[in-house]
Chains A and B, each alone.
Chain A
Amino acid sequence: MSTDEAGQGASSAEGPGNSAENHGGSGRNLIQLVTPAGERISHPEFDPWVQDIADEQLCSLYEDMTVIRRIDVEATALQRQGELALWPPLLGQEASQIGSGRALREDDFVFSSYRENGVAYCRGVDLTDIIRVWRGNASAGWDPYTINMATPQIIIGAQTLHAVGYAMGIQNDGADSVAMTYFGDGATSKGDLNEAMVFAASFQAPVVFFCQNNHWAISEPVRLQSHVQLADRATGFGIPSMRVDGNDVLAVMAATRVALDRARRGGGPTFIEAVTYRMGPHTTADDPTRYRDANELEDWAAKDPISRVASLLERKGLLTEELQQHVRDKADAVAREMRSGCTTMADPEPLDIFKHVYSAPNTWLDRQQDHYSRYLASFGDPAGAASEEGAR
């Protein structure tokens, strides 16, 4: 297999501490189209799915990946500067998110967890909307219907069931769009995901399960979640699966296109395991040095998804100073836009807490709101009234 030639067999790609021994089962090789050194290798089955990705598109994939890494770094900085309460970095997962996100059609619908800011970027999200939640200004940053992507899910695995239900709706409507759901390796342990796979298979729903196996669920290694390769789990539910090098943007795109195509043609669900690595902390509140070996990070840094595309572009003579300047400028501009969107965001009003609890007013809650507004009015400075220490 091409993957072995590239020294990217299943076990080596999984990194230390997560050997094939711990992950029995089929021991499938990873689908790979570009080696870590940036060499394009042929894969008869998957090549046709990215044949249309010409030089220009390759450059734009590189651009998108660079931009979302920049968004990530900027947001992390904003958190450190006290502008955001928390941030879940996607550092290292750019290829998984851009490769899959760019394969989607506008009328497909995404149900993700909290780390898929790169996917949201592909959906065309307003960057201010992304950070609204992490700043603490809202529970949901955007209207799901404007970008066909549900707002981030924090309850692990819950969104996978929503995707299947949405897909059942698509099926009933006779449409050919697809519901795509993103989740991590930890989520594969949850009942919700297992139930989602039961429903998806039973009804042959047009849904794609996209698992970013980034090797860690906070401090827990993937081997604690599963004794078999994650892609093999789907087999037991009767769902075809693929295991793809998640740091190879072309391979991810090809695999996602295969799955989307199957769903559109009535072939039912597919499970994709994108084998990648979370290079940063779980969130800005996490300290990975407590549980993670520094060597492991080094091994994975050598497989960095962005340098891989850069090397490929270089081999093709496309990585010109002009391109790099363009990409830098774009990343700078996007980061600037996000920062200013963040720092100029208006604070919500106290009585906003009562909005949208129900779709129609009710006297029960109206009374509480009325009493609270009288209470606030009894102070000169409403904010002072809400501090724990008290104002009087």
Chain B
Amino acid sequence: MSGHHISSAKFLWTIGAALFVLTVITVAVTWIHIPGPWNVVVAILVALVKATIVALFFMNLYWDDKFNLMLLFLSIAFFILMIGITLLDTLYRDDPIPSF
């Protein structure tokens, strides 16, 4: 483990450029009108790729103590748990739409 990884300037600029290109891609795919629900899936997938790049190479998780990566995975796992249990309720209500 190395908490003090030093990235080269060229590497950081490459990561920034990759994120910029992915932003252009995520806007561009809305122009070709992918039928739902696949448009949401594509948008989330591109966002996940971008977030992974930021976490690994800007937040240095790639070189860092793996314990910090595990913390990130735990937060994602509990987030999925929260969404999952919430949807098990809200998607299957007899009267699904509340008054507000």
The answer to whether A and B interact is: no
Interface residues, chain A, with chain B CB atoms under 8 Å away: none
Interface residues, chain B, with chain A CB atoms under 8 Å away: none
